[in-house]
Structure formats: structure tokens, C-alpha cells
């Protein structure tokens, strides 16, 4: 029995040479198959076929569940697919199966950091620094992990270690300076900037940082000393004059502040955008302050001299002039701006608004065409082109522009209403009354309380003696919207006159005359017509005579005076 057991035991512990060779052969085949699959998977990954690559890598794990490289590659794929849990799982297994591979540890640390597992990342970076103390990138990432955890002091210690490895660098010192500031350790922040100055004493930017730091620390005299030092080192430095402007302004010395600001504005190295920000402050603050306004204009003069090729210089000057009612001068500034940069909508917009206000309709027609070459889909320029052509009596051109422009208006009922309003005016001028009425109706659909449309539509209906009930309703509403307009009251009174309501018409037309500093011929003629119907013949003739003298009355006025009789106007 003992012999059998011993024999059995011996048999269990030993194998024949043929069996051992078979196992080695099987292991080699497995390794070859694994390598083949890894190459295939990596090829798919390089080609961007991540789904296929994932499947093949998982086949690799079926051959060898402890393949560190396979776990490493899978972690990358899962990280790309934003499957953080799987990415971490495989990255951890890669490190477990090959703990001395720095790439695998780095990969895991990065995934921890991206997954906001900063404490775990911190542990790994410390291990990597122990393995590779000369590798500064691990120090940087450890510092980053500390900062994510709010461990600013620990991060600073790491930056000190980096400085010993690499020597002082501008980026590193600036970073340390910011961290000291975040800790409220101003003196240490100043010491860091002083390092930069010692390292590169000709760099003006470092002095500027130092001056700012002294100001933040409340050491104003030291800050001023540094600013003046910059001026001595580099008298042509415009930026320091801006800093001195802010310094003196903050300390209430407005005269010195303006002097420094003038020097900065006279310096072409200070960019136009910085100056524009300051000009906008002056624009806001000068509206009710004549002294500041004069200073603003002085700076604007410098701006167009120093930056004569910048549209912004002329446009901000135009803004000042336009605000202060100097419309012709403002228009010239905006035109110069457009000549320098024709692609700015606000500049063209100011040009057409000013030309409209100045009633420069020939210019308006020409410049809206120029604007439309740059902005062919913007309704504003079609709108003003239409207005210009109406005033120039080019009604067909006006209608063409207004019809085209209204199709480009979206989500703006008010603008749609105005397009139809002026279409109504243009069609009326052409005596196309059906289209005119349709346009006014459409305008009122977008804005039913527009007093100008209500008044004009009402008056034109009264001229044709059509829809007088509607005309009365609209005239009444127009007067509700604008109670003391002589022209609106005249329209209302005239509609009532045509409806035979002479007493109320007289009351309204008297009011229209009393509200007018100098009543126009139309109102005076209408008043005479009403008086005649009320059998106040002498008073009617006097009113007609005044209408003739004033101008603006109808062609029938002389005949009315001569015949001393009311004459019905011809329906157009």
C-alpha cells in the first residue's frame, strides 16, 4: 500500500519530457496568438474603429486576463468613450499586473485626475516622482492635483522643487506669484516678481506687475516710485502712462490723471481698443458735465490724429457729435469711418439715420444703395431707401425697395408696420388707392394704434369721401394717441365736416388753430369751410384769406374768396 501511494505521489509530481514540451508549445502558440490579436486591435484603434478594437482587446483578455498592455489599451478606449468606471478599472489592472511601468501609472493618474479623484492621483504622482525624480512633468501634475484639492501651500512646495530642478522660469515664477496672492501673502508675491526683475532687469512688464502689487498692498508711494522708474527706463512706453492715469485718477488728482492720459493717447503703441474703452467712459460721464465733455473732445481730436487709419477713431467722434446735436459734423465723421471700414453695420446705420434727420434725401438715397451693396439682406437700408425715394418723388423705386425690404423682416412687428405705412404713402402718391388702403390695413394689423397711419389713412379716405365712418373712428383714435397735434385735430374736424357735423368740426378746428404757433393754410382753409357751412360768411372769408397768405391751401382758395362761396373739392 505504501509503495503504491509513494508511486502515485511520484507520478503526480513528475511529467515526461514529451508532456513538458507540449506545454511549452501551447504557451508559445498562445503568446503568438495574443501578439497577433494585439497588433490587429491596435491597427483598428489607429484607424479610428474603436468598437472593433474594443472587441479584439477583450478577445486578448480571454487568452491572457493578466495582460497589462491589453488593460492599458482598453482604459484608453473607455476614456475616449467617456466610460470612466471601465477606464479606471482597466487602468488599475494594468498597474496591478505591471507595477513598475511608468506609462501605466501615468495613465492611471491622468484618468484619476480627469475623474476628479484628486487624492488618488496625488498618491500616484508621488510614486512616479519617487521612481523618476528628475521628471519635472510629474512635479507639475502633482502640483495641479494639490491645487484641485485646494492645497495651495503643498502646491507651492512642489513648485519650489521644480525650480530647483529646472531653475527659475518666468512662467513658474508668475504662477507662484499668483498662488501667493491667493493666499494673501503679498510680500512673498512681491519677492517672486523681484526675482523676475533680477533675472531680466530690462523687461518693463515685470516692473508693471511689481507696481500693481504694491498698489494692491496699499503701498502707493512704492507703486508710484516703480511707475516713475519705468518712465525713466522707457520714456516712450505708453502703457505706463495709462497706469499713471489710473493711479492719479484713483487718488483724486484729476489734472495729473488727464496729463498722463493725454500722453498715453498721443502714443501710437497703445492700441486703439484700449483707448476706445476709455473714450466710452468719457462718453457716458460727459453728457451732463461740460468739463469732462471738453476733455472727451480733446481726446477724440488726438485719436483721429494718432489713429487716422482707424474707423473707430472717427466713429467715436461721430457718437460725441451726434449726441450733442452737431448732426452735420457727426455725419462727416461717420462717412470717414465708412471710408476706412465699409463693413460695419453700426456706422452705416448712423449715416442713414443722420441723413434722414437732416432731410438730406438725395444723399440718403445714394448711401442706402451703397449700404445695400455691403448688407443686401438688411431691411434697414431698404426702409430708408424707400423713404428717400418717396421724398424725391421716385415712387416706383420707393415701392420696389419697400416691397423687397419687408420680406427680410422677421420677428419685428413694429418694423413691418412701418414698411406697410410707407408703402401706403407711396401708393397714395401714385393714386393707386386700392393698394394704398391695403397697405395701411396691413400696417394697422401689425400696430393698430399707430397714430400716423390712423391719421393719414383717415385723411386720404376723407379726400375721396370714402368710408367716412371708418375715417372718423381712425381720426378719433389718432387723437386719443396724440391729443394735442394740430394736424391730427384738423383731420378729425375735417372728417366730421364731411359727415355734416359742423358744430363739432368748428370746435375741433378752433382748437387746432389755437394749438398752432403759426397755423398752416390747410387748417385755416378747412376752418373757413366750416364757418361757411355755419353761415358765418364774413368769418369764413377772413379765414380763407389768411389761408391764402399763409400758403399751403388748396387750388380752390382764390375761387372761394372771389365767389365768397364754399366750393366742393374734386375727388381724386
Q: For 452-481, how does the pLDDT look when each residue is reduced to its tens digit (9 = 90+)?
A: 999 999 999 999 999 999 999 999 999 999
Cα dist. 115→54, 89, 102, 144, 148 in Å? Answer: 21, 12, 20, 14, 12
At residue 222, the pLDDT reads 86
Find cell 431698404 and name the residue. Answer: 382
DSSP for 411-466, written as a single string: S-HHHHHHHHHHHHHHHHHTT-HHHHHHHHHHHHHH-TT-HHHHHHHHHHHHHHT-
List all residues 6 or more positions away from 34 whose beta carbon is below 8 Å from its beta carbon: 60, 63, 64, 67
423 domain residue, yes or no: no
Count the domains in the chain.
2
530 domain residue, yes or no: yes
What is the rounded distance in angstroms from the CA atom of residue 334 to the CA atom of residue 183?
50
CA angle (110, 111, 117) in 5-degree steps:
95
**Side-chain half-sphere of 337: how many Cα atoms within 13 Å?**
26
pLDDT in tens, 89-108: 999 899 999 998 989 988 99
At residue 465, the pLDDT reads 95
At residue 170, the pLDDT reads 75
Q: Extract the C-alpha cell encoding 408.
A: 427680410
At residue 572, the pLDDT reads 65
DSSP H helical ranges for 132-269: 136-148, 152-166, 170-182, 186-199, 204-216, 220-233, 238-250, 254-266
Q: For residue 516, give the H/E element and its range.
A: none
What is the rounded distance in angstroms from the CA atom of residue 523 to the CA atom of residue 510?
9
Q: Extract the C-alpha cell encoding 271.
A: 492700441
Q: Are 172 and 163 in contact (CB under 8 A)?
A: yes
272 domain residue, yes or no: no
Cα dist. 491→342, 412, 474 in Å? Answer: 44, 29, 10
47 domain residue, yes or no: yes
9 domain residue, yes or no: no
Q: Given 115, 142, 173, which residue is the final one in a domain?
A: 115
Q: The pTM is what?
A: 0.69
442 domain residue, yes or no: no
Q: Given 93, 115, 137, which residue is the final one in a domain?
A: 115
CA angle (392, 492, 543) in 5-degree steps:
85
Q: What is the DSSP letter of 169?
A: -
Q: Extract the C-alpha cell encoding 327.
A: 448732426
Q: For residue 524, give the H/E element and its range.
A: helix 521-533
Tell me the CATH number at 72: 1.25.40.10
Find cell 512633468 and name the residue. Answer: 137
Q: Given 88, 115, 142, which residue is the final one in a domain?
A: 115
521 domain residue, yes or no: yes
Determine the structural domain holding residue 540 and report its residue range: 452-572
List all residues 6 or more positions away from 178 whose beta carbon is below 8 Å from its beta carbon: 189
219 domain residue, yes or no: no
Sign of the torsion angle spanned by Cα atoms 318, 321, 323, 326: negative
At residue 160, the pLDDT reads 82
Spans of the chain below 70 pLDDT? 1-26, 572
List all residues 6 or more positions away from 278 whose beta carbon is below 8 Å from its beta carbon: 261, 299
Q: What is the DSSP letter of 119?
A: H
Sign of the torsion angle spanned by Cα atoms 119, 120, 123, 126: negative
What is the rounded distance in angstroms from the CA atom of residue 564 to the CA atom of residue 536?
11
Amino acid at each position: 500500500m505504501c509503495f503504491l501511494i509513494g508511486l502515485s505521489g511520484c507520478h503526480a509530481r513528475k511529467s515526461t519530457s514529451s508532456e513538458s514540451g507540449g506545454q511549452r508549445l501551447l504557451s508559445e502558440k498562445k503568446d503568438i496568438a495574443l501578439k497577433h490579436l494585439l497588433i490587429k486591435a491596435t491597427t483598428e484603434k489607429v484607424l479610428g474603429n474603436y468598437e472593433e478594437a474594443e472587441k479584439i482587446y477583450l478577445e486578448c483578455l480571454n487568452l491572457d486576463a493578466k495582460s497589462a498592455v491589453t488593460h492599458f489599451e482598453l482604459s484608453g478606449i473607455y476614456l475616449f468613450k467617456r466610460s470612466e468606471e471601465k477606464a479606471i478599472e482597466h487602468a488599475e489592472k494594468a498597474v496591478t499586473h505591471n507595477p513598475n511601468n511608468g506609462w501605466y501609472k501615468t495613465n492611471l493618474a491622468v484618468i484619476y485626475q480627469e475623474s476628479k479623484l484628486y487624492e488618488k492621483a496625488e498618491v500616484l504622482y508621488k510614486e512616479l516622482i519617487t521612481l523618476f525624480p528628475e521628471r519635472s512633468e510629474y512635479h507639475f501634475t502633482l502640483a495641479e492635483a494639490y491645487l484641485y484639492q485646494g492645497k495651495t501651500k503643498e502646491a507651492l512646495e512642489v513648485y519650489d522643487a521644480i525650480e530647483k530642478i529646472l531653475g527659475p522660469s518666468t512662467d513658474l515664477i508668475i504662477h507662484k506669484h499668483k498662488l501667493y496672492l491667493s493666499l494673501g501673502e503679498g510680500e512673498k508675491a512681491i519677492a517672486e516678481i523681484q526675482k523676475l526683475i533680477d533675472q531680466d532687469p530690462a523687461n518693463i512688464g515685470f516692473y508693471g506687475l511689481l507696481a500693481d502689487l504694491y498698489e494692491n498692498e496699499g503701498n502707493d508711494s512704492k507703486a508710484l516710485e516703480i511707475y516713475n522708474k519705468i518712465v525713466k527706463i522707457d520714456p516712450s512706453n505708453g502703457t505706463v502712462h495709462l497706469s499713471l492715469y489710473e493711479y492719479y485718477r484713483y487718488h483724486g488728482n484729476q489734472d495729473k490723471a488727464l496729463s498722463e492720459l493725454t500722453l498715453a493717447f498721443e502714443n501710437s503703441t497703445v492700441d486703439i481698443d484700449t483707448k476706445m474703452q476709455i473714450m466710452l467712459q468719457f462718453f457716458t460721464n460727459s453728457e451732463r458735465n461740460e468739463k469732462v465733455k471738453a476733455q472727451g473732445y480733446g481726446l477724440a481730436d488726438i485719436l483721429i490724429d494718432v489713429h487716422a487709419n482707424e474707423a473707430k477713431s472717427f466713429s467715436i467722434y461721430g457718437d460725441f457729435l451726434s449726441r450733442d446735436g452737431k448732426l452735420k459734423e457727426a455725419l462727416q465723421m461717420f462717412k470717414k469711418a465708412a471710408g476706412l471700414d465699409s463693413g460695419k453695420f453700426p456706422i452705416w446705420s448712423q449715416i442713414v439715420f443722420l441723413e434722414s434727420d437732416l432731410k438730406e434725401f438725395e444723399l440718403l438715397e445714394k448711401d442706402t444703395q451703397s449700404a445695400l451693396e455691403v448688407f443686401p439682406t438688411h431691411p434697414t437700408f431698404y426702409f430708408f431707401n424707400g423713404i428717400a425715394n418717396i421724398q424725391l418723388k421716385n415712387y416706383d423705386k420707393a415701392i420696389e425697395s419697400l416691397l423687397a425690404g419687408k420680406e427680410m423682416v422677421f420677428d419685428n412687428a413694429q418694423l413691418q408696420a412701418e414698411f406697410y405705412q410707407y408703402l401706403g404713402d407711396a401708393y397714395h402718391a401714385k393714386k393707386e388707392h386700392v393698394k394704398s388702403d391695403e397697405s395701411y390695413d396691413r400696417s394697422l394689423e401689425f400696430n393698430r394704434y399707430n397714430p400716423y397711419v390712423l391719421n393719414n389713412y383717415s385723411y386720404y379716405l376723407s379726400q375721396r369721401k370714402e368710408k367716412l365712418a371708418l375715417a372718423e373712428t381712425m381720426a378719433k383714435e389718432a387723437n386719443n394717441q396724440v391729443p394735442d397735434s394740430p394736424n391730427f385735430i384738423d383731420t378729425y374736424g375735417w372728417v366730421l365736416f364731411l359727415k355734416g357735423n359742423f358744430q363739432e368740426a368748428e370746435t375741433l378746428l378752433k382748437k387746432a388753430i389755437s394749438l398752432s404757433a403759426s397755423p398752416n393754410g390747410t387748417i385755416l382753409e378747412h376752418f373757413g369751410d366750416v364757418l361757411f357751412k355755419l353761415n358765418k360768411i364774413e368769418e369764413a372769408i377772413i379765414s380763407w384769406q389768411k389761408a391764402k397768405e399763409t400758403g399751403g391751401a388748396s387750388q380752390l382758395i382764390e375761387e372761394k374768396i372771389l365767389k365768397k362761396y364754399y366750393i366742393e373739392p374734386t375727388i381724386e
